[in-house]
């Protein structure tokens, strides 16, 4: 009886912020602001899902680009067959979730660093497949050259902004729900020690599968919305390691295994995205160096560092 008002009290500020963000296109906010926020929403949704896997499930999944790219390609190709882009968004996300369920069977046989390496090659395989893929028959053509997303040229930027905001809010609310449920408690037990969790009666494979599929679906939503905004998709960028580095940066900078971490980290990542735009050729190297330095200097991230400082102050 006490927890519900407390939860509602925490959601009230979030609801107010969401309303303000939703009104920005209506009140004529600068387009550059909306672009910053659009990328923030996409990165936040992706970082939340990677945090669900790595931070709370103990699954160091290195294949988020596979879900982003596969969902984006599914959506783009469906538009070539006359399907509306908004239907493609849902079906593309479902395709990503089904793909996650498919690869989970062999992937979950691997543990630790072997699981990470195994998932790392998945986007590369998909990238190669879509590069050499040559569709047969009309109206689909393009193959490795990529595809334009049909029917989105008339979509207002405000609409894609609101779609990205909806996906980001859904990822935040979903994380809050999961972490306060038995599902979240089971994931925490698996992260700490999956063998002990299994002996305690927890269905380890089932919970891992659920978290993997959920992460793939939301990542697919974020990816499809991004490609609706971009209007074009091709293999090199769709399955690029850039997605992984951005997501890991956002989570690690903010604080892996914390609710607020991806939000704080996504703000910083968007800032870095535009700051490093002039260094496009070496931006990946710079981001990789930043990631390694942060993992060595402050592995708990900004939120973890703040919490640790508060504990020290309370004990002093």
Average pLDDT for the chain: 88
pLDDT tens digits along 214-249: 999 999 999 999 999 999 999 999 999 989 989 999
Decide: helix, strand or coil at residue 148: strand
Alpha-carbon Rg for the chain, nearest whole angstrom, is 20
pLDDT tens digits along 245-265: 899 999 999 998 888 999 999
Instruction: Give 252's Cβ-side CA count (13 Å radius).
Output: 20
Residues 6+ apart with CB under 8 A from 77: 140, 147
Q: What local confidence, expressed as pLDDT, does residue 140 receive? A: 59
Complete DSSP assignment for 10-34: HHHHHHHHHHHHHHTTTTT--HHHH
- Asked if 235 and 225 touch (Cβ cutoff 8 Å), the reply is no
- Asked if 87 and 78 touch (Cβ cutoff 8 Å), the reply is yes
Decide: helix, strand or coil at residue 179: helix
What is the 8-class DSSP label of residue 61?
Answer: -
Domain coordinates in residue numbering, the chain? 3-239, 241-316
Q: What local confidence, expressed as pLDDT, does residue 142 receive? A: 62
Of residues 289, 288, 249, 284, the one with CA closest to residue 269? 249
Q: What local confidence, expressed as pLDDT, does residue 139 receive? A: 58
Q: What local confidence, expressed as pLDDT, does residue 313 receive? A: 79
pTM for this predicted structure: 0.90
Q: What local confidence, expressed as pLDDT, does residue 103 receive? A: 95
Tell me which residues of the chain have a pLDDT lower than 70.
1-11, 134-143, 280-281, 316
166/73 Cα distance (integer angstroms): 21
CA 50 from chain centre, in angstroms, equals: 6
Decide: helix, strand or coil at residue 316: coil
């Amino acid at each position: 009886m006490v927890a519900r008002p407390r939860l509602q009290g925490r959601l009230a500020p979030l609801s107010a912020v969401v309303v303000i963000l939703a009104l920005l296109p209506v009140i004529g906010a600068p387009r550059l602001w909306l672009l910053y926020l659009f990328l923030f929403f996409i990165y936040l949704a992706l970082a939340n899902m990677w945090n669900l896997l790595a931070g709370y499930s103990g699954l160091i999944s290195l294949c988020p680009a596979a879900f982003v790219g596969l969902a984006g390609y599914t959506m783009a190709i469906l538009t070539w067959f006359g399907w509306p882009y908004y239907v493609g968004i849902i079906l593309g996300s479902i395709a990503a979730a089904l793909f996650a369920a498919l690869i989970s069977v062999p992937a979950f046989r691997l543990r630790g660093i072997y699981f990470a390496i195994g998932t790392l090659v998945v986007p590369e395989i998909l990238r190669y497949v879509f590069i050499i893929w040559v569709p047969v028959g009309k109206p689909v053509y393009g193959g490795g050259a990529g595809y334009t997303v049909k029917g989105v040229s008339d979509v207002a930027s405000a609409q894609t902004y609101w779609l990205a905001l909806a996906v980001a809010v859904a990822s935040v609310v979903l994380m809050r729900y999961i972490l306060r449920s038995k599902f979240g408690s089971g994931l925490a037990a698996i992260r700490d020690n999956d063998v002990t969790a299994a002996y305690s009666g927890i269905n380890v494979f089932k919970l891992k599968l659920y978290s993997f599929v959920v992460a793939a679906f939301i990542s697919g939503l974020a990816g499809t919305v991004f490609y609706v905004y971009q209007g074009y998709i091709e293999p090199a960028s769709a399955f690029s390691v850039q997605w992984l580095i951005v997501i890991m940066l956002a989570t690690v900078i903010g604080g892996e295994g914390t609710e607020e971490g991806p939000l704080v980290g996504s703000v910083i990542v968007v800032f870095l995205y535009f700051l490093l735009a002039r260094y496009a050729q070496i931006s990946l190297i710079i981001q990789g160096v930043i990631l390694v330095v942060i993992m060595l200097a402050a592995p708990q991230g900004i939120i973890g560092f703040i919490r640790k400082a508060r504990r020290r102050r309370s004990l002093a």
